[in-house]
Amino acid sequence: MFNQITEFSANHTLLVGGFVALLIAVFINEFKQAAKNFTSLTPAGAIQLINNDDAVLLDVREPTETVAGKIAKAIQIPVGSVSKRIGELDKHKDKNIIVYCKTGAQSGGACQQLNKAGFEKVYSLSGGITAWQEAHLPVSRK
């Protein structure tokens, strides 16, 4: 059987190489997912947390990005300022914190900073405010 595998590998090096690369990529992705200390939420999941647990919303977009609207009652701290302004969130350490940005790409970094500061119930809104609006959920322009 080992001879057959060796022969197949020798005859199909490109196919075997692609398989090995794909396998490595899957392991790397799984390792990254296991290493993060926060959970991603859909807009529907966020609504459940907000309604059942009085979660705190953290908008990590820049002030210029929030002109089009934000989720009502969200605290706005730009992602680049989270580590400096983390003290503003200390009173919410025991609550669920839902972090969101425009598309979900930057909220993960803010979630990791919150985890390092001792926040345990941290969630990232998948797709950010864009997914929220696509789900036809309300935004505040204040």
DSSP calls for the chain: -HHHHHHHHHHTHHHHHHHHHHHHHHHHHHHHHHH--SEEE-HHHHHHHHHHH-PEEEE-S-GGGGGG-B-TT-EE--GGGTTTSGGGGGGGTTS-EEEE-SSSSSHHHHHHHHHHTT--SEEEETTHHHHHHHTT---B--
Q: Give the residue numbers marked as catalytic.
A: 101
Superfamily holding 38-134: Rhodanese-like domain (3.40.250.10)
Residue whose C-alpha is closest to residue 80's, from 97, 103, 57, 63: 63
The pLDDT of residue 39 is 85
> What are the domain boundaries of the chain?
2-34, 38-134
Q: How confident is the model at residue 97 (pLDDT cuts 50, 70, 90)?
A: very high
The pLDDT of residue 68 is 83
Q: How confident is the model at residue 34 (pLDDT cuts 50, 70, 90)?
A: low
In this model, does residue 33 exceed pLDDT 70?
no
Model confidence, pTM = 0.75
How far apart, in whole angstroms, are the C-alpha atoms of residue 105 and residue 99?
11
Edge-first strand listing for the sheet containing 75-76: 39-41, 122-125, 97-100, 56-59, 75-76
Averaged pLDDT for residues 81-101: 94
Q: How confident is the model at residue 141 (pLDDT cuts 50, 70, 90)?
A: confident
In this model, does residue 47 exceed pLDDT 80?
yes
Q: How confident is the model at residue 90 (pLDDT cuts 50, 70, 90)?
A: very high
More confident residue, 72 or 54: 72
